[in-house]
């Protein structure tokens, strides 16, 4: 049996990609933390499933709407309540790790993905209203999100950059983080950030295209794009967080912006259920996993360092995928649009569900 502590020994922090109110009430989240979970991520889809699928939120929703709050404001009241409980459960991890771990992420309204000013305002409001040192606000790594990320970092607000699907955009995200730190004043040790690089969705999209091409060269690289791209991203991370520019910030207490492997449950039943954990183990990284993936890893995962073992081969693999006829830039564009849409749809569906419950 593999423990989550074995990932920590390799320098990787295992985070939980889920949150439910019953876990806060019955101690399940505390048990996860005691087993080695070092942080937690949420998104609109997670809250849609949690709130729409449970009656545990009904009393608070009725109370908030009875006071005259809108359905949207009531939604945020429910979300902030759960986030507050998670922050409390993970505060000890944050304190004992000197502000490296123990973070809980909550996402801005996903409809703001192409609205820089709206994202800045929403992220600032979440940080101000929740006001806990282990909060990370999630901002999509869209073109419009980049200046918002830089602005929030310059204000020393910890940010989880989400929905990253290409190494090129990842480089832009790291630049936004570093330039934001450079614009901040004084000690930087309280600022933390992760860059959430989505994994399994890349294989799903690339493999579908490879199967349509169906040449021997295309079929030979099925199931390899996501891991190879993550390994290339890690190489970019090592390059970026080194050298004089970074060292000047590190002297002011700056933390590296760790790559976070997201969407790490396998979508293809032909793949091992721990593929996107086993293949991406390495120092200064985070892997945020759904509870089922954590349980699978704990049962039969492999915590051997793997992220930087085959970096040259990873670049060759990406080149072979491109040579086979897959446009990886287009893949990233499609996945970003779909990712934003899926979160917007989940947000809208939940608001519709809550609206039907409102007793105005």
Q: Catalytic residues, which ones? A: 138
Rounded to 5 degrees, what angle do the CA atoms 275, 336, 137 make?
85
Q: How far apart, in whole angstroms, are the C-alpha atoms of residue 226 and residue 160?
A: 20
**DSSP string covering 315-355:** HHHHHHHHHTT--HHHHHHHHHHHHHHHHHHHHHHHHHHHH
- Looking at residue 13, the DSSP 8-state letter turns out to be E
- DSSP code per residue over 233-294: HHHHHHHHT-HHHHHHHHTTTPPP-EEEEES-S--STTS-TTHHHHTT--TTEEEEE-HHHH
Report residue 190: phi and psi, to 5°: -85, -5
Q: Pick the closest to residue 339 from 161, 171, 214 (CA basis).
A: 161
Rg of the Cα trace of the chain? 20
């Amino acid at each position: 049996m593999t423990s989550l502590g074995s990932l920590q020994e390799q320098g990787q922090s295992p985070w939980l990609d889920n949150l439910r109110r019953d876990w806060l009430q019955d101690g399940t989240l505390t048990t996860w933390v005691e087993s080695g979970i070092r942080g937690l991520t949420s998104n609109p889809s997670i809250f849609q499933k949690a709130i729409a699928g449970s009656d545990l939120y009904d009393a608070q929703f009725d109370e908030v709407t009875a006071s005259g709050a809108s359905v949207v404001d009531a939604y945020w009241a429910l979300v902030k309540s759960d986030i507050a409980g998670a922050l409390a459960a993970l505060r000890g991890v944050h304190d004992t790790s000197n502000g490296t771990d123990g973070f809980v992420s909550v996402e801005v309204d996903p409809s703001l993905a192409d609205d820089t000013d709206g994202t800045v305002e929403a992220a600032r409001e979440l940080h101000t209203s929740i006001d806990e040192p282990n909060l990370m606000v999630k901002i999509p790594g869209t073109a419009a999100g980049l200046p918002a990320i830089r602005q929030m970092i310059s204000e020393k607000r910890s940010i989880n950059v989400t929905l990253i699907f290409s190494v090129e955009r990842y480089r832009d995200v790291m630049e936004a983080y570093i330039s934001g730190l450079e614009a901040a004043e004084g000690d930087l040790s309280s600022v933390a950030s992760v860059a959430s690089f989505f994994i399994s969705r890349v294989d799903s999209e690339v493999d579908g295209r490879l199967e349509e091409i169906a040449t021997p060269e295309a079929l030979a690289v099925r199931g390899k794009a996501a891991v190879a791209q993550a390994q290339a991203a890690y190489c970019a991370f090592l390059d970026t967080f080194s050298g004089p520019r970074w060292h000047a910030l590190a002297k002011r207490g700056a933390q590296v912006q760790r790559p976070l492997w997201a969407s790490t449950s396998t979508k293809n039943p032909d793949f091992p259920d721990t593929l996107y954990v086993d293949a991406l183990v390495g120092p200064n990284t985070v892997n945020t996993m759904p509870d089922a993936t954590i349980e699978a890893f704990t049962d039969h995962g492999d915590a051997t360092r793997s992220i930087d073992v085959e970096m040259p081969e990873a670049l060759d693999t990406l080149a072979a995928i491109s040579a086979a006829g897959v446009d990886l830039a287009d893949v990233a564009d499609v996945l970003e649009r779909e990712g934003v849409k899926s979160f917007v749809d989940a947000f809208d569906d939940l608001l519709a569900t809550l609206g039907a419950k409102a007793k105005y």
